[in-house]
Amino acid sequence: MKHYGEKFRYLVRRQDGLCPIAKERYGRAESPTELHHKTHATKTNRKLYPLYIDSVWNLAAVAHWSHMALPSWGRISYLEAGKREAFLRRHPLLASWMNGELDYGTAD
């Protein structure tokens, strides 16, 4: 995934430094350690949703143990993923930003 570090840091800031799975499911305050795809990054999904699949719109910064316990947390339907991909195609500048090709800066 391109710009992994930038996406991870941006999402950690957006999530106030907390793993959303641990917070919502277990009521625990855990620090994120990795990125989780809400629509899984399969070969087929990468082909169908190239702008959306690795965008911050489809990612969450999560704690590893939470990710392994609930690998399908936050799942986005294929219909919704298709709508989001179409939106990003209509808005290439936003797609570039969501994919880390533009500086995230301090934007929230």
Alpha-carbon torsion (80, 88, 101, 44), positive or negative: positive
Reported as a pLDDT band with limits 50, 70 and 90, residue 25 is confident
- Strands annotated E in the chain: 34-37, 59-62
Reported as a pLDDT band with limits 50, 70 and 90, residue 64 is very high
Reported as a pLDDT band with limits 50, 70 and 90, residue 71 is confident
Over residues 9-24, the pLDDT tens digits come to 999 999 999 999 998 8
Under a CB-based contact definition with an 8 Å cutoff, are residues 77 and 29 in contact? no
Q: What is the mean pLDDT of residues 80-103?
A: 94
Q: Where are the domains of the chain?
A: 4-98
Reported as a pLDDT band with limits 50, 70 and 90, residue 102 is confident
Spatial separation of the C-alpha atoms in residues 41 and 53, rounded to whole Å: 6
